[in-house]
Structure 1
């Protein structure tokens, strides 16, 4: 079992992420001792940051540590996907982002997606046959992709962690830490 203090976590996002859904897990994982890297596509608007969505307007920028094109899935222990409507909708059009999601799923590493971010699991072919949750408005998308959708704060299926909304962030973050410390999970590839 790896310790969270030795874990390397990748948060993948782009402009339009739900502010709290990136900042809260990032802070909680770092406070627990993990090394956290934020990565975004080159196509993002600013060269060194991405901008969140907070309430009804643009939020604060968050520094970007890496371009997704240069990422090596083997260098990380877990992938965290923040939601918001804009962020995952943009990312699911990025072939490299989907390649990264598939790489984490097939490797058995922890993948955590909140709010609208399960759209990336759907697009990557990783939802079928899994227990999942999401923001209520994409429930039909998740169900149509073959998942067993649950209205619960956090749903875990063999190291794939999903949550509904910002109100679930504390439980979501705690479950990510727990799953990382369990180690790799045997599961079908995306």
Structure 2
């Protein structure tokens, strides 16, 4: 998928160093992720490989070929009854936020997930992250759960909220979930 400024494609293992460069400030300086330590290249590579077996892992590039962000879906719960529900995540280069790349990326992620017969999207957000709450609200996510004092990072207890979106109408039995590898993701 592309627009004038942004190109979205599947992540490749050769992208991992750039993805980790984007993720590192979120770990080190924010409570957007509850991870305390920046993962190693090997650990991050394994995460990408594992996710891509089942779900899309997409990158957004500028027209000059610079990776400016990434988004992916992951397992919500490991039980079969949850196959049609995923957790979504997005990380953008902090110096390039607000320029539309995240929206292009999330639209592409949703289109891929529709092809996989995913019905429900969930986003787990640190409650004080108004930017993420607003971004997800723009995509028709709505708050469905709020958990006070759920995590501790950077010297404070943090609240967590879950936002949910129905990607497709939920009626009767769902079509079978199709893993990423079978939809050309």
State TM-score, norm by structure 2: 0.34
Bigger proportion of residues as strand = 2
The structure with more radius of gyration = 2
State TM-score, norm by structure 1: 0.33
